[in-house]
Amino acid sequence: MFVLAFIEATAFALLVIYAPLYLFELTREARYSTSVVWIPATLTFLLAPRWALWGRAHLTRLVRLGLAGYAANLWVLPRLEDPLAFLAVLALFSSLQAAFQPGLKTLIGQHGPQALGRYFAVQSAGWMLGSLLGGLFFERVGFLPLATAVGTLAALAVLLPLPSTLPPPTRPRRGLPPGVPSLLAPAFLVVLGGEAFFSLYSVYLTEGLQGPAALVGYSLTVVTFLGMLTSPAYGRWVERFGAPRALGWVLHGYLALYLLIALWPHPYVTAVLFAIPLYPAFQIATLELLYRRYPEARAEATGAFEAMLALALALGGLLAGAVADAFGLRATPWVTLLLVAAGWAWWHKR
């Protein structure tokens, strides 16, 4: 399972980072490039809960279907030169990609928070590899051979054996348990704030704070590397102290982090704070909380969690761009702080 997580993360990094660059080189229009992010995010928001509901007793099918979507996107997209055809194919196969996370996270989550910690460590390693491969080979050999190689790996991974899925539910469910949306609502505000900051992080650091461009790459590499190292420890931490307490502490950490970023607008301070890997701890604690409270609906809860992440990704960039245009780049961390504070307050009033 962890091999599949590594391959999916590598494929995801290539698509998110370098497919927009490839499309921009074709069109010289940013509106097409940004579509490479928001189209899959919107489809994941719409389809991840549906995939989870359909495949809750067939989780391995969801994993294979998602990997097939990644393989198809990586094989076909670099061979297209028409931007509209590119986006149509992206939408088609991203619909399949949306099945991967609900399937694999549910399979791994049944083994507890330590297994989730190992999963996020492997995922971080895959993101690092995808970023490094693109950085080393995109300009030298182009997007086509690079995407074809990783796409072939994803296609072969579809054939790998997977463990048995969860037993079927004792009684059928037709949707989410009623408590899941209210539990995820404060988490959504925190993730929305984080995605808003992340979407403009490079611009904020270099243009808003006049920091060197190299600092962006260094901080992104460090946060991914630290996430890989700390995720297993986060899993043990959540198991020891319990998901509700751990999630509360993580939200305290997010609030303090963005308060410091907003109050201390210095490029190196911002880069150091940004490199603190809280996101794996947040995901592990939230998923474990969902699984503990709704053990009979793990797949549906995972689908809702993935939809929440995707919606935050799709809206975060739009929100950050609108705020920066209206009030300037230096308003970016303050918007994030307000959203994180709202999520923190909502969670602690529960």
Domain count, the chain: 2
Q: What is the CATH number of the domain that holds 120?
A: 1.20.1250
Q: 183 and 319: one domain?
A: yes
User: What percent of the chain clears pLDDT 70, i.e. is strictly above it?
Assistant: 95
Task: Average the pLDDT over 105-113 and give the result.
Answer: 88
- 248: alpha, beta or left, given left = phi > 0 and alpha = psi -120 to 50? alpha
Q: 58 and 197: one domain?
A: no
- Does residue 171 register a pLDDT over 50? no
DSSP assignment string, 225-245: HHHHHHHHHHHHHHHHH-HHH
Q: 199 and 322: one domain?
A: yes
Tell which of 122, 157, 192 closes a domain: 157
Please check whether residue 166 lies inside any domain of the structure. Answer: no
Please check whether residue 138 lies inside any domain of the structure. Answer: yes
Give the model's pLDDT for residue 64.
94
Please check whether residue 215 lies inside any domain of the structure. Answer: yes
Are residues 303 and 49 in contact, defined by beta-carbon separation less than 8 angstroms?
yes
Cβ contacts of 200-208, under 8 Å, gap ≥ 24: 200/317, 200/320, 200/321, 200/324, 200/329, 200/332, 201/274, 203/324, 203/329, 204/270, 204/329, 204/330, 204/332, 204/333, 205/267, 205/270, 205/271, 207/329, 208/265, 208/328, 208/329, 208/330, 208/332
Q: What is the mean pLDDT of the chain?
A: 88
Hey, what are 316's tokens?
Answer: 């975060």
CA distance 9 to 32: 23
Task: Report in angstroms the alpha-carbon separations of 39 from 86, 88, 185, 232.
Answer: 12, 10, 23, 32
Q: 237 and 301: one domain?
A: yes
Tens of pLDDT along 37-68?
888 989 999 999 999 888 777 888 999 999 99
Q: 332 and 191: one domain?
A: yes
Tell which of 102, 126, 157 closes a domain: 157
Alpha helices in the chain (DSSP H): 2-13, 19-27, 30-55, 59-76, 83-97, 100-109, 113-141, 143-157, 179-199, 201-203, 213-241, 243-263, 267-274, 279-293, 298-327, 332-349
- Three-class DSSP category at 56: coil
Cα torsion through 347, 292, 287, 295, rounded to 10: -130
Give the model's pLDDT for residue 170.
43
Tell me, what DSSP letter sits at residue 175?
S
Please check whether residue 6 lies inside any domain of the structure. Answer: yes
CA distance 21 to 280: 27
Please check whether residue 40 lies inside any domain of the structure. Answer: yes
Backbone angles phi, psi at 177, to 5 degrees: -60, 145
Q: 95 and 235: one domain?
A: no
Give the model's pLDDT for residue 319.
87
pLDDT tier, 166 (very low <50, low <70, confident <90, very high otherwise): low
Q: 135 and 198: one domain?
A: no
Please check whether residue 107 lies inside any domain of the structure. Answer: yes
pLDDT tier, 251 (very low <50, low <70, confident <90, very high otherwise): very high
Task: Note down the domain range covering 235.
Answer: 179-349
What global pTM score does this model have? 0.85
Please check whether residue 168 lies inside any domain of the structure. Answer: no
Q: What is the CATH number of the domain that holds 337?
A: 1.20.1250.20
pLDDT tier, 194 (very low <50, low <70, confident <90, very high otherwise): very high
